[in-house]
């Protein structure tokens, strides 16, 4: 996830500690600058009941907001509705409202829930800059052996814990061809040479910032999903959806980016060849979970990181959503990472400690990072890899195939999670 090396003793954590699950954005190296902050005070996410006339309801909200603002005498400004979300039967909106408006909406017959907007996090831990047996897995092309591969790529392509061929990644030459990875993150440095022109800018939900990756988290995640050297699906296309900037971000901004990605997939009929990766977390949020579940019902696969707080992943969103594939992390010895969240909400494990991938300093830059943020894209990349090889038309079929292909019993101390390890079906 997009998370960080800072925990409760960190000054970054303390900055947002008004909520026990306010999420942190950057690691210590990233906090030197003073970026603009996202303000979530008096901001809410309102989820509507199924079947509500949205147009009629939004007219009601406009009238309530206008009336409340007109009655105020203290000069405070409230901006009203900022976002609307529409994923199948999930209908919601976010906005900046006077307390009197929220009181009326909370008891209105159209409304399922009203939740305060929250700050969100990127779940990485550190940064070091540098210049069940498998279902029958089909093969589309020839099996390629990448020599000198990262340990993470080796582990997802080999079932044998004692395999002597360290540094080898075995994969089908189709390598995710014709698939699309939507990266909801800090952006992607699309000019990095390891992307080979396959990375593009999709949607910027951070309206006050340029559409570029100034953090490096999103570029690192994208590299694990689909870069030539460090990626699982080396021929997939990567689409940046920026939901985090150089400051902090919020649940409403994440929902905006997710809404765009899911509807783009549905509109282009890409359910059978796309995945959404969300390497970040926020305190459990019903609106986010309902959006992920609605996307699942429409066939869209969402992979997310479990988080790095050494607690239950079910305390966070989107990891607690039933429709999400929630990923926790291990080190090279298959031991669950020290800070990784776990519990029944975790569906699968993947590499997440000392992960080498692409970075933003120049077109050939790399970085070493740790966290469940970087386990999630191994699984998202694997989803694309498997979608190239198999008819996996929707999210349910995809999830079932992924989990039935995974290697059981490898993880030391899974902590109540399913003991399944991501596997591409091509190793020994």
Catalytic residues: 185, 217, 373
How much is the CA Rg of the chain, to the nearest whole Å?
21
Give, for 45, the enclosing helix (H) or strand (E): strand 43-48
CB neighbour list of residue 116: distance below 8 Å, 6 or more residues apart = 40, 43, 44, 45
Closest CA to 362 of 121, 114, 192, 177: 192
- To which residue do tokens 């406009």 refer? 62
CB neighbour list of residue 347: distance below 8 Å, 6 or more residues apart = 325, 326, 327, 399, 403, 417, 418, 420
Tokens of 282: 């926020």
Half-sphere exposure of residue 124, counting CA atoms within 13 Å on the CB side?
Answer: 28
The angle subtended at Cα 383 by Cα 379 and Cα 387, nearest 5°, is 165
Backbone φ, ψ for residue 224 (5° rounding): -70, -35
**Rounded-to-5 percentages of helix, strand, coil across the chain:** 25, 25, 45
CA-CA distances (angstroms) from residue 422 to 36, 372, 427? 38, 13, 12
CB neighbour list of residue 266: distance below 8 Å, 6 or more residues apart = 298, 299, 300
DSSP string, 324-379: EEEEEEE-TTSBBPTT--BSTT--EEEE-SSEEEE-SSSTT-EEEEESGGGTHHHH
Whether 350 and 336 have beta carbons less than 8 Å apart is answered as no
Q: How far apart are CA 3 and CA 53, in angstroms?
A: 38
Whether 295 and 182 have beta carbons less than 8 Å apart is answered as no
């Amino acid at each position: 996830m997009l998370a960080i090396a800072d925990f409760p003793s960190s000054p970054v954590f303390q900055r947002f500690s008004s909520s026990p699950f306010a999420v942190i954005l950057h690691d210590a190296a990233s906090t030197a600058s003073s970026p603009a902050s996202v303000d979530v005070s008096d901001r809410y996410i309102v989820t509507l009941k199924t079947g509500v006339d949205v147009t009629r309801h939004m007219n009601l909200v406009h009238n309530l907001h206008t009336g409340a603002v007109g009655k105020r005498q203290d000069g405070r400004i409230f901006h009203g509705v900022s976002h609307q979300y529409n994923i199948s039967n999930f209908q919601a909106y976010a906005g900046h409202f006077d307390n009197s408006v929220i009181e009326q909406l909370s008891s209105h017959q159209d409304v399922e829930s009203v939740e305060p907007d929250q700050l969100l996090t990127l779940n990485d831990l550190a940064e070091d800059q540098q210049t069940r047996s498998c279902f029958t897995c089909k093969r589309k092309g020839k099996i390629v052996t990448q020599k000198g591969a990262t340990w993470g790529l080796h582990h997802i392509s080999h079932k044998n814990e004692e395999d002597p061929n360290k540094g080898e990644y075995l994969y089908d030459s189709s390598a995710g061809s014709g698939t699309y990875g939507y990266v909801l993150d800090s952006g992607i440095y699309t000019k990095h040479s390891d992307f080979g022109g396959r990375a593009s800018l999709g949607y910027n939900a951070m309206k006050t910032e340029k559409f570029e990756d100034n953090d490096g988290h999103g570029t690192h995640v994208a590299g694990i999903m689909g870069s030539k050297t460090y990626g699982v699906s080396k021929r997939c296309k990567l689409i940046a959806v920026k939901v985090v900037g150089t400051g902090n971000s919020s649940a409403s901004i994440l929902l905006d980016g997710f809404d765009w990605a899911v509807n783009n997939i549905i509109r282009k009929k890409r359910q059978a060849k796309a995945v959404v990766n969300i390497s970040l977390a926020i305190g459990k949020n019903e609106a986010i979970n309902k959006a992920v579940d609605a996307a699942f019902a429409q066939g869209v696969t969402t992979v997310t990181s479990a988080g790095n707080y050494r607690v239950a992943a079910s305390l966070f969103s989107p990891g607690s959503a039933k429709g999400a594939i929630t990923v926790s992390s291990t080190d090279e010895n298959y031991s669950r990472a020290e800070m990784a969240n776990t519990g029944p909400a975790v569906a699968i494990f993947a590499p997440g400690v000392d992960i080498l991938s692409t970075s933003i300093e120049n077109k050939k830059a790399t970085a070493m990072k740790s966290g469940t943020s970087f386990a999630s894209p191994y699984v998202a990349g694997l989803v694309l890899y498997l979608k190239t090889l198999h008819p996996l038309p929707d999210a349910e079929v995809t999830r079932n195939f992924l989990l039935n292909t995974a290697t059981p019993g490898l993880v030391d101390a899974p902590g109540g999670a399913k003991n399944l390890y991501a596997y591409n079906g091509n190793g020994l």
